[in-house]
Structure 1
């Protein structure tokens, strides 16, 4: 069995630059709680989206186990549109209603999911039997989970916390179990 810990980044301070957007004060305050939860899980490898907020969210566990955060470009958040959406909720609803639809300059669910799943399958192949923390984002995380089980969709995405942690167990490429490890108090 391989266990992936999908760690949705903590709260961030909005900037238009996806790459450098940092955690907010609240988000940075959640990192020790995230690290504490993950420290009980015998994490062996830490990977992340290349976006700063995702890296910052899992940096604590990487430091604790004495490893670098391995950056994987395909784990970055889906590009919804090149310009900020006038109505984010409407924009998100549209791409979930039609998985092949993409806004100007954005990725459809199908395209983003394919990219994210490619990264997950590579991790499952290369690190079979390991416990891997993954610094990720809400939408791409749900798209990846949705590939393995379609009960993870738009409604699930809307109910995510920021941060959030899901322990996801695989037998090779087959999803076996998904368990939530986070709530606002820090543990489930």
Structure 2
């Protein structure tokens, strides 16, 4: 039997879209000054904690906000960064750049997501596609590193759907989103299990 792996999950640092409550899924967005400081904080935290120093690999979404967060971690831990396309955020196609309020009240996005796994805005992804993509990426990473710890930098929305799919059997069960540069540990074995979720002590005062 393949040994269980631990995926240390990190959400990217803050962006202007996070501040403005605007959906930037596939849209490339830079970190804010605060986001860069968050990335530096989480990098130092992972480098100083014995558990996390055991990580053997570092993966990131290709999007700038995740990649720049991961680069800070890689520098602190002297690790090479590997890009994994499957870790990208939920692409809303023609609805990219809309506010969360507009997506909820005008387009009823959350309702459509819950009711129809194959619903997608023009040019965007469906919930089924997103959850299958990110769970596939997480499981593939775990299979490459049996019995080892790996750091994975990704996005709030897609990751929440992926965790719900892995832990509860359906993306629609997602209940919470990790904070920017928060840390979670996912044990990937016969029965995936969250060992910790949304650790933010290292961000105190920001």
CA drift at 1:96: 3.4
Deviation at 1:29, TM superposition (A): 1.1
The corresponding residue for 2:72 is 60
Taking structure 1 as the reference length, what is the TM-score of the superposition? 0.85
Tell me: CA distance 1:165–1:22, structure 2 relative to 1, closer, same or farther (3 Å): same
Structure 1 residue 18: Cα displacement: 3.9
Corresponding pairs, count: 184
Unaligned runs of 5+ in 2: none
Separation in 2 of the partners of 1:103 and 1:17? Answer: 12
Structure 1 distance, partners of 2:56, 2:68, is: 18
Q: SS state of the match for residue 134, structure 2?
A: helix
The question of 1:48 aligning with 2:50 is answered: no
Q: 1:92 to 1:26 in 2, by over 3 A?
A: farther
User: What does residue 119 of structure 1 align with?
Assistant: 137
Which of 165, 168, 176 is equivalent to 1:150? 168
Post-superposition shift, 1:70?
Answer: 0.3
Pick which of 51-60 and 148-157 moved more.
148-157
Worse-matched range after superposition: 93-102 or 121-130: 93-102
Which structure's CA Rg is the greater one? 2
Distance in 1, matches of 2:156 and 2:25, equals 17
1:14-163 correspondence to structure 2 within 5 Å:
14=17, 18=26, 20-39=28-47, 40=49, 41-42=52-53, 43-84=55-96, 85=98, 87-89=102-104, 90-150=108-168, 153-157=173-177, 160-163=178-181
Higher helix content, 1 or 2: 2
User: Where does the alignment leave 5 or more consecutive residues of structure 1 unmatched?
Assistant: none
Question: How far apart, CA to CA, are the structure 1 residues paired with 2:41 and 2:68?
Answer: 13
Q: Go from structure 1 to structure 2 and tell me whether the alpha carbon gap of 1:17 and 1:6 turns closer, same or farther (over 3 Å shift).
A: closer
If the length of structure 2 is used for normalisation, what is the TM-score?
0.78
| Cα pair 1:93 1:154 within 8 Å, conserved | no
User: Which of residues 6, 13, 16 is equivalent to 1:13?
Assistant: 16
State the 1:115 CA deviation: 1.0
